[in-house]
Amino acid sequence: MKKIFNKFIIMLLILSMPTISFTGCKDATEIEKLAVILAVGFDVTSDNDYQVSIEIMDSITLISKGRQTITYCAKGETVFKAIDNIYKNIGQKFNYAHIQYIVIGDNMAKKGIASIIDFSLRYNQIRPTIPFLVTNGEARDIIETNICTNVIPAISVTDLLNLQRNRGETIYTTNLDFVNSIAHGSRSTTCGLINIDKHKLDTHVNYNLSGAAVFNKDKLVGYLSTRETVGLNWIRGDINRYIVMIEYPENYKISLDVTDSSSNTDIDMSENNNVNIKVNIKSRSFIREMTGMVDPNKNPSIMDILSKRQNEIIYNDAYLVINKAQRDFQLDIFDFGNTIMRKYPNQWDYMKNNWNDAFKNMKIDINVDSRVNKTGVLSKPPI
């Protein structure tokens, strides 16, 4: 009996050891005492202070109708000071682990976002997988908009992002991607563009998530249109669902549904350090909509014609963005620099300082190989 009692005491001691030495209990917070931050927006004010808007989970409203989040806004000299100032308004501890996206206002982005990236990567609670978005106006408007697609507006943005990312109309750049591409390689990157859609046909207030913003290091230098963004995604091979429109036969339109696409970049360096870049794009699609009276199942060569026309469309889209990058921005937004760095690390060492200058005159070959291989349920249009 005594032996067992001793054993019991030893067991208790062993169990209490971690309780004392590991500071687990210090971080214990009941979940309802947390202010779960869902989205953060950054702006810069006229007197050069940071203005932070946050969207937090509303724990008071019991009726689950309408928007379930509250927004707060505060100013401060640094990013974290601004967030800290919000504590004056709420009596809850912030939890940063559930941030869905970070949106940056136009002014702020032009000024430089190094402080935001540092803030988002330094604190261990913030995930390195938060997508960055840029807005043309103030980030505060994006955070404060009443959106009707989800009771939590931040989640409606992530839903939108995931869908648009597959459609190739936006760029999905997380904070870790951002820092990876501006720290080395071509030192420039792109991220998605979000705005409040004012020219919509219906009456609901909603977001418009299309297009992209181009960064040189941490500063915004310009925007890409939706079509240019699609071109950029063709080159990256990131498109999984996209509608390509072609004309066949003349004056009749066909919608092709791209189900799958991929690309690979071949970079060769000749002996006098001439860089040849070759992008091979592959895609597969099927007919979604057709009005002209042709029957591709009876005449399979029609499919080849459709493929050729599709090739042209994709080629044009891709070239559009390459032109823009080379002429307007003079920036390697495709991150070819990174590929070279991996393939030719020795040459890259003395190439990297004026890589963007070299890039603007570089010849980039695009080779599109697309296939249209299904007609859908119908062969020729019924009427």
Partner 1 sequence: MNMKKIKDFFSLNEPENFDNNLLSYSVIKNNNEKKYNNQKLFKTLEQNEQYLKSIFNNCYDLTIRKISLYNENKGKIAIAYLNEFTTEKLINDSIINKFPLNLSAQNDIEESIKYTLAINDNNICENFAQCIDAILDGNVIIFSDMLNKAFIENIKSPPERSIEEPNIESTIRGPREGFTESMSKNIILLRKKIKNINLKTEKHTIGKNVKSNIVICYMEDAVDKKILEEVKARIRKINIDTFASNYVLEAISDDKFSLVPTIFKTERPDVAASKLLEGKILILVDNTPIVLSIPALFVEFMQASDDYYTNYIPATLNRCFRYIGLMITLTLPGIYVALVTFHHELIPTPFITTIIKARAGIPLPSMWECFLMLSAYEIIREAGLRIPKTIGQTVSIVGTLILGEAAARAGIVSEPMIIVVAFVGTALYTIPSPELNSMILFIRYIILLLGGALGIFGVLCGLLFLITYMTSRRSFGVPYMYPIMPFSLKRNEDVIVRTPIEKLDKKMKLFRR
Residues near partner 1 (CB under 8 A): 4, 15, 18-19, 22, 24-25, 27-32, 34, 36, 38, 57, 59-62, 64, 68, 95, 97-98, 100, 125, 127, 151-152, 155
Q: Which is nearer to partner 1, 35 or 104 (CB)?
A: 35
For helices 114-122 and 175-183, angle between their N-to-C axes, nearest 10 degrees:
120
CB of 40 to partner 1, least distance (A): 14
Q: Are 154 and 100 in contact (CB under 8 A)?
A: yes
Q: Which is nearer to partner 1, 25 or 201 (CB)?
A: 25
Q: Which is nearer to partner 1, 8 or 45 (CB)?
A: 8
| Tally of helices (H runs) and strands (E runs) in the chain | 12, 13
CB of 4 to partner 1, least distance (A): 6
CB atoms within 10 A of CB 289: 13
Per-residue burial over 9-35, b if 16 or more Cβ lie within 10 Å, else e, is: eeeeeeeeeeeeeeeeeeeeeeeeebb
CA distance linking residue 102 with residue 116, whole number of Å:
9
- Closest listed residue to residue 286, CA positions, set 190, 376, 203: 376
CB of 24 to partner 1, least distance (A): 4
CB of 7 to partner 1, least distance (A): 9
Q: Which is nearer to partner 1, 65 or 199 (CB)?
A: 65
CB of 17 to partner 1, least distance (A): 10
Q: Which is nearer to partner 1, 60 or 383 (CB)?
A: 60
Sole residue written with tokens 């504590």: 87
φ, ψ of residue 187 to 5 degrees: the values are 55, 35
Helix, strand, coil percentages in the chain from 3-state DSSP, rounded to 5: 40, 30, 30
User: How many CA atoms lie within 13 Å of 278's alpha carbon, on the beta-carbon side?
Assistant: 7
CA distance linking residue 340 with residue 366, whole number of Å:
17
Q: Which is nearer to partner 1, 13 or 31 (CB)?
A: 31
CB of 58 to partner 1, least distance (A): 9
Q: Which is nearer to partner 1, 156 or 233 (CB)?
A: 156
CA distance linking residue 67 with residue 283, whole number of Å:
40
- C-alpha distance from residue 55 to each of 35, 70, 265, 349 (Å): 9, 6, 40, 44
CB of 92 to partner 1, least distance (A): 10
Q: Which is nearer to partner 1, 4 or 201 (CB)?
A: 4
275's tokens: 């860089």
CA distance linking residue 207 with residue 41, whole number of Å:
15
CB of 37 to partner 1, least distance (A): 11
Cross-strand partners of 258: 242, 285
Q: Which is nearer to partner 1, 9 or 97 (CB)?
A: 97
CA distance linking residue 253 with residue 243, whole number of Å:
12
Q: Which is nearer to partner 1, 22 or 350 (CB)?
A: 22
CB of 119 to partner 1, least distance (A): 17
CB of 96 to partner 1, least distance (A): 9
